[in-house]
Structure 1
Amino acid sequence: MKIFPSKYNYYYKISSEYTIINNFLTGALDIIGSDIWNKVLGNRFDEIEGDPLSALVERGYYYQNLADEDKLFKQLFKNLSKKSKTRPLKFVFCPTFSCNLDCSYCFEKNLPKSRSKPMSDELLESALVAFNEFIENYNKNVNKVELFGGEPLLKSTRQIVERILEFAVSRKLIISIITNGVLAKDFIDILKPINSSIEMLQITLDGPDFIHDKRKKFHSGKGSFQRITESINELVVNGINTNVRINVDVENIVYLPHLYEYVCKMKWLDYPNFKIKPSQVTDHSTLECKYPIIPEEKLLEKLIEIYDEYPHLEDAFGFYMFKPIRHIIELTGGAENVTPRYFNCESNLVEEYVFCPDGYIYTCPESIGNPESAIGEFYPELKFYEEKIKMWSKRDIMTIKECRTCRFSPICGGGCPYSSMLIYRGSLHPICERFQEVLDTFFKYRGKKILKKFIS
C-alpha cells in the first residue's frame, strides 16, 4: 500500500531509542521507537512487525491520498472562520500618544511629538458615539474595553480615563489597562469602586532595580523602579487584578532569579489577584527602534541555563513566551482539540478597534500613529476604509502562498501582518519565525523530561 507523509509533520530524535513526532495540523503528538520511525521514513514498512500504518494514518501523520490532507486543511479553516465571526470584539482607547517614560526598547519611539496632546473632549465624545453606532449598525458583540497608550494613566488623561471607565461600566464591559504603572496608584480611587469590572492592569517590571532602571527611565534619566513597585504594591493589596510582565532579552534575562526573589520578598505571590510572567522583547515595526534582539533559540538557551540552576523558576514561569513550545506543552499537558492557527493574531481577524487621539481607528495596537495602517476614522464621523480592512482580514495561511507548504504554518498563522505591511508594502507575505530552531533547542534540553511523561 502506498501512503504519503503529511506536510505538517515535525519529528525530533530524543534518544537512541525514541523519537517524538508532532503533526501541527491535527495536533497529534506521539513518542515512537526510533527504529520503527527510521523504517517509516525509509518506506520500509514490510520490515515492521504489526500494523503501525493504521495508527499513523489515523493520527494524521500519513495519508493514503494526498488530496485528503488538503480537504482536511480547508475544512478546518472553514470551521474556524465560522467560529471567528461570532467571537466578541474589543475596543481599545488610546487617550494620548505621550508617555512619561523613555524605555530603551519602546516600539513607539517614532510617534510624532506634535501629536502628543491628550484626546480632546470632542474627540472622546466622537469615539463613544462611534462605539454605539458601531454596535447598532454593524450588529457586533463588543465585550471588552482596554486602555492603551502612549501611557494611559497620566495626570493629563485622568478625566478621559474616568469618562471611558464610566462608559464601560454602564455597558457591563470587561476592562483592562496596559500601563507602565508609574502613576497607577494615583488612580486607585477610581479603580477600586469598579474592581469587579476590571480584568487586569498589566505593568512591566524588567528586573531588580539596578537593571530595570537602565531600561525604563524617566525622560530626566532617573529610574522608575521605585515608583512602579509602589504602584504594584498598592494595586495588589487593594485587591485589583495586577499582571506583571517582564520584558526579557539578552540584557536582563539573567536577572530573573533576582526579580523573583524580590517578588517573593514583597509577598505579592500570596495574593490571588497577582500574576507575573516573562515575555520576549519583540519588534514588529521592523527594527525602527534600533534595539538589539537576539534569535529566539539563543534566548531559550539562556533561559534553560537559568532554569537548570534555579528549578523553581521553571515551575513559576515555564516556556509559555515561546509560541511553538506553548503548543507542545498544551499537547503534553493533556489538552484536547488544539486547533490550528490560520491567523496570526486578533488584528488579522479585525477583532480590535483602537481609537487614537489622531482621530483614526487602528486594528493593531503596534501600528498606532501610522495613518497608512489605519482601518478607519471616528472624527468628525465614523468611517471605515474597506480596502484597508481587507488587507488585514484576508491575510491567513490560506492566502499566503508560502504558508500552504510550510509545516509550521498551522501554529504560526503567517507571522505578524504589520511587519509584512511595513517590509513588503502588502499583507500577503509571510513573516517567518524561527520555529524549527526553537523546537529543536527545546527538545535538545527538555526532550527527555517529556519522554518520562509518556513512558512512566
Structure 2
Amino acid sequence: MENLKWSRYNFLLNSSRHGKFIYNSYTNTFLELDDSLFEDFNSLSQSKSVQKDLRDIFSQEELMYFKDNYILNESDDDLVDIMHHQSMARIFDKKHLVLTIAPTQNCNFNCSYCYEKWRNSGSMSDETEDALIKHLNELKVTFGLETINLTWYGGEPLLEHMRIASLGKKINKLGIKIIECEIITNGYLFNEKNVQTLIDVGVNQVQITIDGFKEIHDQRRPLLSGIGTFDKIIKNLDFFFANENKDKLTIALRVNIDKSNSDTYLETYNWLKSRYPQENLLVYPGWIYLDETNEKKCDCFGRNEATDFCLDLSKNNGIVSEKIFPDDINMECLVRNPNSLIVGWKGEIYKCFEDLGNEELIVGSLHDKDIWTNQELISKYSVGIDHYNDPKCIKCSYLPICNGGCPLRRLENKYHGKSNDCCTPFKGRLNDYLELYYENIQRK
C-alpha cells in the first residue's frame, strides 16, 4: 500500500445540483462521495507528491477498494502498457473478422455532400463472389476464424440485391457465427422484396438516411435525375412498419446534419418517432465530415459544437442522441486490424470506407494468391498511427475511453500534415456528460 498514488485517470466532479463524485476512466467507475472523502481526494489530486501516509487518511478497507478500482495505483504508466497490449491483441486477433462488402459502387442518388469521389461503375461478378467465399473458408480452416461482423455497403448495395442474396447465403453456409449483420442503404429500394432478401440472409440492422423533411431532404439527397427521394423512402418505411416483418430488423434512421439543417433536427426526430413508435427504431444525428479538398462544401460541425448540440438535445428535450457515459467495450476500428476487409465489387480490398474506389489506396485483391499487396499502408494503419506511440496520448487522462479517435484522421495528421481533431467528445466536457448521466439515473 505504500506505493499507491493518485491516478491521472481520476476526475472529480463537484456539482452544485447533485453533489460530489469521482469518475475513473480506466475502470469506468463512477462513485458518489460524501464531503469528507471528496476533500481527501481533492487534496490528493492537487499534491505533486503525497506528503502523508495514505494509511493516515483512509482505512485499510477503503485503501483496498480504491486500489481494486485503480483510483489509487502504483503506476499509471504500467496501465498504459496493459492497455497497449490489449489493443495489440485485438488488432491481431484472427478469430474475429470485420467484413464490409460493396457489391457495387453504383448509386442512384446524387447527394450534395457525397465523399465517394472515386466512385467507379460496375457490379460484383460470380468469380469475385467465389473468391471471397474461398478466402473466408481459408481464414476459418487455417486461422480458426469464429465470428464476423458483416456490413453491406456501396454505392447503393440494394441495386445488387440478387448478389446480396447469393453471397449472403454462401457466407451463412460457412458455419462462421455472424455477430452483427448490417446494411447501409439510402432506403429508396427498401421495398417488400428486398426486405425479405435481407431477412433471409441474416441482416439484423438497416441504416437509412433522412436529412429532414421533404424540402430539405430532397434538396440534399435527390436521385441522379434530380427527382426527390423523401416520399419514396417514407412510403417504404410505412410499409415495413405495417407488415409482419416489422420486428425482424432494427431500423437506424441517420439524420445527416450540418449547420444549415441542424435547427430542424428536433422536429424531424419527433415526427419520425411519432410516425413509427416501435422500439426497434433508432433516430440519431450523423455528422458530415468533408475535408478541404472536397468540392461539395458544407458548413460542418466541429467536435465541441457537435457535443453542445447533443447535450442540449438531452438537457432540454430528454433525447439521448449519443452515449452520455463512456463505455468499457474496447474495440478497434477495422482499419487497424490487418485481417479485416472492405471488399470492392472487383474483389479489390481497402481498409477504410472513405478509401473505397481510390485505386491508390487498394491494399490487396481477392484474386491474388497473396491477397495483401500494399503492406506499407496496412502497416501505417495498424501500427504507424498507433495512439499508444503518441507521447501526448499516453499521458492523457482520457486515454482509456478515447481509443485514439478516427484512424483515418490520425493518418492524415501524421502523414499528410493535417490537423484533425481526433479526441473523444468527452474530452474537456466530461463533467457535463456525467451530470447528465446522473440525472438520467435519478429519473429512472
TM > 0.5: yes
| Equivalent of 1:393 in 379, 382, 386 | 382
Q: Per the alignment, in what secondary structure is the counterpart of residue 272 of structure 2?
A: helix
Matches of 2:336 and 2:306, distance apart in 1: 27
* 1:335 corresponding residue in structure 2: none
74-83 or 366-375: bigger deviation: 74-83
| Equivalent of 2:72 in 39, 58, 62 | 62
Decide whether aligned partners of structure 1 residues 226 and 411 sit closer, same or farther in structure 2, where only a CA change above 3 A counts: same
Q: Percent identity?
A: 21
Query: Number of residues paired by the alignment?
Result: 421
| Equivalent of 1:166 in 150, 166, 169 | 169
Matches of 1:13 and 1:275, distance apart in 2: 36
Q: Does 1:242 align with 2:236?
A: no
Q: Does 1:73 align with 2:80?
A: yes
Q: Does 1:378 align with 2:366?
A: yes
* 2:43 corresponding residue in structure 1: 39
Q: Does 1:103 align with 2:111?
A: yes
Q: Does 1:130 align with 2:135?
A: yes
TM-score by structure 2 length? 0.80
* 1:254 corresponding residue in structure 2: 263
Matches of 2:407 and 2:199, distance apart in 1: 39
Q: Does 1:439 align with 2:430?
A: yes
* 1:96 and 1:151 in contact (8 A); partners too: yes
Decide whether aligned partners of structure 1 residues 75 and 306 sit closer, same or farther in structure 2, where only a CA change above 3 A counts: closer
> Which amino acid in 2 is paired with 1:178?
I
Q: Per the alignment, in what secondary structure is the counterpart of residue 132 of structure 1?
A: helix
* 2:113 and 2:290 in contact (8 A); partners too: no
Shift of 1:451: 8.8
Q: Per the alignment, in what secondary structure is the counterpart of residue 428 of structure 2?
A: helix
Decide whether aligned partners of structure 1 residues 389 and 426 sit closer, same or farther in structure 2, where only a CA change above 3 A counts: farther
* 2:350 corresponding residue in structure 1: 362
* 1:25 corresponding residue in structure 2: 26
Mapping 1:2-401, distance limit 5 Å? 4-15=5-16, 18-32=19-33, 33=35, 35-43=39-47, 51=58, 54=63, 56-63=66-73, 65=74, 68-79=75-86, 81-82=88-89, 85=93, 87-108=95-116, 110-112=117-119, 115-154=120-159, 157-172=160-175, 174=178, 175-185=181-191, 187-188=193-194, 190-191=196-197, 194=200, 197-236=202-241, 237-239=243-245, 240-246=248-254, 247-266=256-275, 268-270=276-278, 274-283=280-289, 288=294, 290-311=297-318, 314=319, 317-320=320-323, 325-327=324-326, 330=327, 338=328, 341=330, 344-350=332-338, 352-379=340-367, 381-385=369-373, 386-394=375-383, 395-401=385-391
Q: Per the alignment, in what secondary structure is the counterpart of residue 347 of structure 1?
A: helix
| Equivalent of 1:424 in 410, 414, 434 | 414
> Which amino acid in 1 is paired with 2:399?
S
Decide whether aligned partners of structure 1 residues 375 and 8 sit closer, same or farther in structure 2, where only a CA change above 3 A counts: farther
Residues 32-76 of structure 1 show CA distances to partners (whole Å, capped at 9, x for unaligned) of 33544443334497699952783554532333x4xx332233234
Gaps of 5+ in 1: 331-337
Matches of 1:70 and 1:201, distance apart in 2: 42
Decide whether aligned partners of structure 1 residues 448 and 387 sit closer, same or farther in structure 2, where only a CA change above 3 A counts: closer
Gaps of 5+ in 2: none
* 1:12 and 1:21 in contact (8 A); partners too: yes
TM-score by structure 1 length? 0.78
